[in-house]
Amino acid sequence: MYMSEVQSPCIKLCHRDSKDVCFGCRRTGEEIGRWSKMSDEERKAVIAETYNRTNVTGEMPPGNYLR
């Protein structure tokens, strides 16, 4: 069985802001949901996009998390 080279960027801080961007990995809810079906090329593209994403100003995940 083929194993993907590109692993999930999840850091177990699974809360999304009002624009549906995860505070932990910066993927959208749609990207998170499709992750297991994506090719490595698609995964690399998603990860590249996350470097340009920010969460909604003033919104924070519950608890004492900072990033």
Domain limits, the chain: 7-56
The Cα 48–Cα 63 span in angstroms is: 27
Give backbone dihedrals phi and psi of 21, rounded to 5 degrees, phi first: -105, 125
* CA 9 to chain CA mean position, Å: 6
Give backbone dihedrals phi and psi of 23, rounded to 5 degrees, phi first: -70, -30
SS3 5: coil
The Cα 28–Cα 52 span in angstroms is: 13
What pLDDT does residue 63 have?
75
Residues 2-60: tens digit of each pLDDT? 567 999 999 998 999 999 999 999 999 999 999 999 999 999 999 999 999 999 999 98
